[in-house]
Amino acid sequence: MHLATCRTGKVFILYDADSLCDANLTPQITPQLFSPAHWRETGRVVGEAPGRGSSLFLDADGAQWVLRPYRRGGLMARFARQRYLWTGRERTRAFRELRLTAELYARGLPVPRPVAAAVTHHGLCYEAALITVRITDARSLADRLIEGSASDALLEAVGRTIRRFHDTGLDHVDLNARNLLVDAEERVWLIDLDRCRLRTPGSWQEANLRRLDRSLAKFGASEDGATIRRGYADVTTAWRG
């Protein structure tokens, strides 16, 4: 993976040169790449994920990508749903998330491969979007909980996966059952690294787990938290995924 940057007018783009060169897109590395309208007009939107940002699943000439615009939630969304305060290109949420995802991907952690991030500068504010490779045939842990198909083996694998990230130092500030994906081979993946960071061990690890506990409760699966923690505590197998 080779990250590079370019600029077109007010738009700054950070991208994986290998991913974009392999995609054979026309045009490449332009603001259009991050435009939902562009993908819809060319008939290459193949699905949409639930959530605040309405992420789109894209057909990138054989590759499957996910385009996720950045959207605010909570009270701030009433005032500026798409815009954030500009404090410099490298401090934008999109650039920071892409670089963190690339770092974890390079370390062999189960995260989507990053493709590109775009930041559009508007004076004191900016808008942003992120593209990652779609994880094939993956469903959220939340969906598995809802349908009752999350076995103890899967839940323990979730715990071991979280432990891998924690041992690497990842503080996932929004660890919940929708940000944990399970593919067709029952492998567990972690997505949505917005505002996350690498840290030294501390109380944030337990805070992550408690946030996941609250998420499980929303899906009527509070008792599954103990099984996840059992996998998390199994240090001898934590790095097997």
Q: Which two tokens stand for residue 202?
A: 């501390």
Q: CA-to-CA distance for 75 and 17, rounded, in angstroms? A: 37
- Please give the distance of CA 121 from its chain centroid, rounded to a whole number: 23
d(CA 87, CA 90): 8
Catalytic residues: 174
Distance CA(205)–CA(236), nearest Å, equals 19
- Taking only the tens place, the pLDDT of each residue in 160-180 is 999 999 999 999 999 999 999
Nearest-angstrom CA–CA distance, 36 and 68: 9
φ/ψ (deg, to 5) at 148: 75, 30
Low-confidence winner among 45-54, 121-130, 193-202 (lowest mean pLDDT): 45-54
The residue with tokens 């609250």 is: 214
Taking only the tens place, the pLDDT of each residue in 110-120 is 999 999 999 99
Sequence-distant (6+) residues with CB within 8 A of 52 are 71, 73
Segment 46-66 mean pLDDT: 84
Output the average pLDDT for the chain: 91
Q: Over the range 5-22, which residues count as b (16 or more CB within 10 Å of their CB) and which as e?
A: eeeeeebbbbbbeebbee
Side-chain half-sphere exposure of 113, counting CA atoms within 13 A: 16
Please state, for a pLDDT cut of 70, what percent of the chain lies above it.
89
Give 75's pLDDT tier (boundaries 50, 70, 90).
Answer: very low
Token pair listed for 105:
């991907």
Please give the Cα distance from 44 to 107 (Å, whole number): 31
Angle, helix 224-233 to helix 204-218, in steps of 10 degrees: 150
At residue 189, the 3 state secondary structure works out as strand
